Structure 1
Amino acid sequence: MSFSKQNRKGTLSGVIFVAIFAAAATLVADLKFVSSLGISPLVIGIVMGIFYANTLHNQTPNEWRRGITFSAKKVLRFAIVFYGFRITFQQIAEVGIDGFMVSLIMLTTTFILGIYLGVKVFKMDRDTSMLTAAGASVCGAAAVLATEPVLKAQEHKTAVAVSMVVLFGTIAMFLYPLLYSAGIFDMTSREFGIYVGGTIHEVAQVVAVPASIPGADAEMANDAIIVKMTRVIMIAPMLIILGIYLSYTAKREGGETGGIKLVIPWFAVYFVAMAGFNSLEIVPQNIVDVINDIDTFLLTMAMTALGMGTRFSMFKGLGLAPLYTAFGMFVWLVVGGYFITKWVVATF
C-alpha cells in the first residue's frame, strides 16, 4: 500500500516532488508568451516530466516512485471528478439542440475514425489508438488523462496521445482564424462558434480562437465555449460505454462464457454528479474559481507524473503511425466538421 507505515514517507516525498514540478509548470504556463499560445500547464508538466525521465530519474530515491505513481493514478481520478465544477447543465442547455448534435456527431465519428485509422490502417496498438482518438474527439489532454485509467495504458502511450493533441490543436488554433478572416469559412457568427467548439481539441484553444478574430462578437465566443463544454461532459458516457466494450472484448477473447463483468469507470460517473451539483449554483462563483485552479494544478501533477514514467526508448516501433492517425482525424475535424455544422444548424 502506498501509505502503509513503511511506505508513507517515500510516497509523500514522491508526491511533493511531483507537486514541485507541477508548480514550476504552472509558473511557466502563466508567462505571457506561453499563455498567448494557449499552452496549458498540463502540457508543460508532461514535457518537464519526460525531460526528467530521460535525464535525472536515476538521481532520485526509488522509494519516491510510489508517490509518482500515486500522482499519476489516484490524484488523476480525483482531479477528473472535480473537473465537473467547470460545467453546468444550464450552460449546455443554452446552446440548443444544434450545438448538442454537432458535439455528439463529431465526438462519435472522430473517436471511431481514430481507432480505425490507428488499428486497422496504420497498425498501431489499441491503447495508443484509443488514447489519441479520445484526445482529438473530446477535450484534448484532459480526455487522454481520463481515458488512460479505463484502458490501464502505459505512460508512454499517454504521452504520445498528448503530443498529438498539442501539435494539431495548436495548428487548429492558428488555422481557424486565418480561414475565417479570409472568408473561406462561409459561416455566420453562431455557426462558426459551434464549429470551433465542436472540432478544436483543447478548451484553452477554443477560447483563444474567437479572441484572435478582429470584430468577433460575444455570441461566437459563448457558443464556442458552451459547445466545447458539451463535448467535455460527454466524456463520461463515452468512458462508460468504453468500459462495457472492453469488458465484453476481454470475455470474448478469453473464451469465457456466461455473463460479462461490467467495469464502470466510477470517476466518470462522479464527474457528471459533480457537474450536476455545480448546476445547482449553491457554491459561490469565487469559490468555484478556486476549486478549478486547484483542480488544474492536480491535473498538472498527474500529467507531470505520467511524463516521469515515459522514456524515449519506449517509443521505438511506433514510427509515424500516431502522426498519420492524428492527421487523419484533424482533416476530418476541419473539413467534415464544417459540413456537419452547416447541415446540423440548417436542419435543427
Structure 2
Amino acid sequence: MSTSVTPRHAKTPARPAAVAARVLPGLAVAAGVSAAALGVSQWLPSLSPLLLAIVAGAALANAGWLSPRLEPGLAVASRRLLRLGVALLGLQLALSDVLGLGWGVIGVVVAVVVLGIAGAMAVGRLLGLSRSQTLLIAGGFSICGAAAAAAVDGVIDSEDDELVTSVALVVLFGTAMIPLLPLLAGWIGLGPERAGIWAGASIHEVAQVVAASGVIGGGALALGVVVKLGRVLMLAPVLAVISLRERRLRSRAEACGPIDGAAAVGRGGRPPLVPLFVIGFVALMVARTCGLVPSAALSLAKPAETALLTMAMFALGTGVRVGSLRRVGPRPFVLAAVTTAWVATVSLGGILLAT
C-alpha cells in the first residue's frame, strides 16, 4: 500500500458534531460518485455500478485527486455502509425462488461454494499466500464477488492491501467471464437454460451474471440470476463458519502467549460468534420469504442496497494502488485464475449431472 492512511484505519473523535464534520466530506464524494455510476449503469445496463465505482475510486486515488480529509468518510462507507448493504441483500432472496430450482441445482450451488472455497484454500497454501488473502479470494470468487470478499474481511483480521487486491481480481476475472462463458457454452453445446445456470453458478458478481446471461439469451437470464442468488444465500452460513473458526484460532493463539498469538492471528480480538450484519441478512431474508415485507418497501430496498454497496465499493477502490498490486506479485493472480477455472469446472460438471 501507499504511505497514505487507508480508509479502514481512519479514526474519528467521539463527539457527534466532530464526527459528522469529519465524515461528511468523504461520504458526500462517495455518494456523488455512486450517483454517477448508477446513472451510467442505467444508460448501459451491462455495466455494474459496483464495478464502475471500484474503477473510479482506484483511478482517482492513483491520480492523486483525493484529499486526505476524505478518509474518515470513506472509512465509514467501506465498513458500515458496506455491512448495511450486505444485510439488505437478504431482501432479494425468497427461499421459495431458490427451492424452485430443484434439489439437483441446489446441490450444484452448495457444491460450488463448498468445493470452490476448499479448492482455493488448498491452492493458496501451495502458493504460499497468507490465510487471510486466500480466504478473501476464496469467498469472493465462490459466493458473490466483491461484496462477499468485503463481508469475509469483516470477520477476519486481513491487511488493507489484501482486500483491495481481492476486489480488483474480482473485477478483472469476473469481467473476463462475461464474453468467455457464452462462447464456451456454445462450443460445448449447452442450451440457453443450462448455460444460464452455468453463468449463475460460476461468475462472480450478480451484474456480471446478468451481462453474460443477456449474451446467451433465451431463458438464461432468469435462471442465471436465481442461481446466483442461491450462491448469495450461502453467504450467511459461510461467514458464520469462518467467524467460529477465527474465534477458535484466536483462543489458541491467546493460550500460546502474546508473541505467538500475534504471529498466528494478527492484532484483532475475537470476532463475534455471528456478525450482526449476517443476522440482519438472515432476518431480512426470512421476512421476505414469509411475505412480511410490503411490496413498496421491497421496491425501495433494491436501489438502496445497490447505492450503499456502490458507495462502499468506491471507498474500497480508493485503496487500490497500482504500486501495491505490483508488489503483491503474481501469486494472487494465479490463485484467482485457478479458482475461476475450478469454480466453472465444478459448476459445469454438476449441471451436466443434475440437469
TM-score relative to the length of structure 2: 0.85
Assess if the C-alpha contact under 8 Å between 1:243 and 1:263 holds in 2. yes
Aligned-residue offset at 1:146: 1.6
Structure-2 change in CA distance of 1:154 and 1:17 (3 Å):
farther
Trace 1:1-348 onto structure 2 (pairs within 5 A). Answer: 1=12, 4=15, 5-32=17-44, 35-36=45-46, 39-56=47-64, 60=67, 62=69, 64-118=70-124, 120-182=125-187, 184-185=188-189, 187=190, 190-213=193-216, 216=218, 218=219, 220-256=220-256, 263-345=273-355
Aligned-residue offset at 1:316: 4.7
Aligned-residue offset at 1:275: 1.1
Q: What are structure 2's unaligned runs of at least 5 residues? A: 1-11, 258-269
Aligned-residue offset at 1:108: 0.6
Assess if the C-alpha contact under 8 Å between 1:2 and 1:66 holds in 2. no
Q: What are structure 1's unaligned runs of at least 5 residues? A: none
Assess if the C-alpha contact under 8 Å between 1:196 and 1:206 holds in 2. yes
Aligned-residue offset at 1:155: 3.5
SS in 1 for 2:250: helix
Separation in structure 2 between the aligned mates of residue 180 and residue 315 of structure 1, nearest angstrom = 32
% identical equivalent positions: 28
Q: How many residues align?
A: 331
SS in 2 for 1:180: helix
Instruction: Give CA deviations for 1:296-323 in whole Å, capped at 9, x if unaligned.
Output: 0110111111122333343353111111
Aligned-residue offset at 1:261: 7.8
Instruction: Give CA deviations for 1:63-119 in whole Å, capped at 9, x if unaligned.
Output: x3221111111111111111111111111111111111101001011111112212x
Separation in structure 1 between the aligned mates of residue 43 and residue 164 of structure 2, nearest angstrom = 23
Separation in structure 2 between the aligned mates of residue 315 and residue 322 of structure 1, nearest angstrom = 9
Aligned-residue offset at 1:330: 1.7
Aligned-residue offset at 1:210: 3.2
Aligned-residue offset at 1:61: 5.0
Structure-2 change in CA distance of 1:211 and 1:306 (3 Å):
closer
Match of 2:264 in 1: none
Instruction: Give CA deviations for 1:115-173 in whole Å, capped at 9, x if unaligned.
Output: 2212x122222222111111110011221222221124333322211222222222222
Aligned-residue offset at 1:21: 2.1
Assess if the C-alpha contact under 8 Å between 1:72 and 1:306 holds in 2. yes
SS in 2 for 1:153: coil
SS in 1 for 2:18: coil
Assess if the C-alpha contact under 8 Å between 2:155 and 2:271 holds in 1. no
SS in 2 for 1:49: helix
Assess if the C-alpha contact under 8 Å between 2:201 and 2:344 holds in 1. no
Aligned-residue offset at 1:256: 5.0
Structure-2 change in CA distance of 1:27 and 1:81 (3 Å):
same
Instruction: Give CA deviations for 1:212-256 in whole Å, capped at 9, x if unaligned.
Output: 235x2x3x4333222211110110000000001111112223335
